[in-house]
Structure 1
Amino acid sequence: MTKILMVCLGNICRSPLAEGILKSKLPSNSFLVDSAGTANYHVDSPPDKRSIITARSHGLEISHLRGRQFNSDDFEVFDLIYTMDNSNYQNVIRQARKEEDKLKVKLILNEVYPGKDLDVPDPYYSGDQGFENVYQMLNEACEIISNKLTS
């Protein structure tokens, strides 16, 4: 089973959306998808209501997810770790214990724009349209990831 982790800062906006989107595109008997945040602000909290509403508008249910903090043990569990932005990429890389750990970590938008190192913007302060924009970015990236993993 291939295990994939989506990581943002608080694990209530971008990474739960990414988790829900990628889960919907991969067979659950072959893939496990989870999410985490690099900060501990929202441990055990559900996703932001705007993430839940945005996901539902696209036929996805993420309200059952709960925030958790990324830790170095995640390198042992997960095969691929996708970060939502450069800051969280650096936070995850800093916890790597060996070079193999670092090779698992990728910026998610590099799937769409290879080598550009673009950030998925944090929609927390940007209103409902910001969440929809993030959903569209993540959906495009997750489609590419899904195609790579299942072809």
Structure 2
Amino acid sequence: MEKKKVLFVCLGNICRSPSAEAVFKGIVKKEGLAEKYEIDSAGTSGWHAGEPADRRMKQHAVKRGYDLTSISRKFNPDVDFGHFDLVIGMDDQNVEALKSMAQNSADIAKIHKMTDFAREWNYEEVPDPYYGGEEGFELVLDLLEDSCKGLLKKLE
């Protein structure tokens, strides 16, 4: 059985996309579908490459049972578009950056925005919590839980 490969992308790959990776992994594991998926995350910038997730994001995620263990890396269009079935940006800026790196229409067809899969929350984007307070990290997790459930429903 070929795994479905999903890559979550934000700007620095230390808050939103590693959280999306952890949340989606948690949801597919809970549903008994972990063996059907390969899940990863990356950033459109390489500013934080090699670093773990933001400590504040990790603290909020742990409270909900998610473990952010990924190490930040920069999105590599030459490899990632060919490897992943879906490339999901957290906001319009990420989606536009991904589209600018696409090499053909097949690459562009793989690009989606995280909130397009939301079912309960009505947000256009997953906002970057980096410069905000605690409530921003909680909002990110609320939006990701909702959107990841919607994503899984679409994929299954």
Q: TM-score, normalized by length of structure 1? A: 0.93
1:80 aligns with 2:86: yes
What is the distance in 1 between the residues matched to 2:46 and 2:138?
Answer: 25
8 Å contact kept, 1:6–1:81? yes
User: What residue is the counterpart of 2:71 in the other structure?
Assistant: 66
Amino-acid identity (%) = 37
2:135 counterpart SS class: helix
With over 3 angstroms needed to count, the CA separation of the structure-2 counterparts of 1:100 and 1:117, relative to structure 1, is farther
Runs of 4+ in structure 1 deviating by more than 6 angstroms, as ranges, are none
2:108, 2:83 → 1: CA distance? 14
Rounded to whole Å, the distance in 1 between the matches of 2:76 and 2:125 is 21
Give me the whole-angstrom Cα distance separating, in 2, the residues matched to 1:143 and 1:112.
Answer: 8
Give secondary structure in 2 for the equivalent of 1:4.
Answer: strand
1:17 to 19, 41, 47: 19
Partner Cα distance (1:22, 1:103) in 2: 21
* Partner-residue secondary structure (3-state), 1:126: coil
Deviations 1:40-79 (A, max 9, x none): 11001000011111110001111x2100000112000100
Q: 1:139 to 1:117 in 2, by over 3 A?
A: closer
CA distance in 2 between counterparts of 1:112 and 1:28 reads 21
Q: Distance in 1 between matches of 2:27 and 2:118?
A: 16
The letter of the residue matching 1:138 is L
- Match in the other structure for 1:124: 130
Alignment partner, residue 36 of structure 2: 30
Report the CA distance between 1:117 and its aligned residue. 8.3
Residue pair 1:3, 1:79 contacting (<8 A) in 2 also: yes
Q: Which runs of 5+ in 1 are unaligned?
A: none
What is the aligned length? Answer: 147
List gaps (5 residues or longer) in structure 2.
Answer: none
| 8 A contact 2:118–2:148 mirrored in 1 | no
Secondary structure, counterpart of 1:60 in structure 2 = coil
Give 1:129 deviation, angstroms: 1.1
CA-to-partner distance for each residue in 1:69-95, whole Å, 9 max, x for gaps? Answer: 001120001000110001110111111
* AA aligned opposite 1:18: A
Q: Secondary structure at the match of 2:134?
A: helix
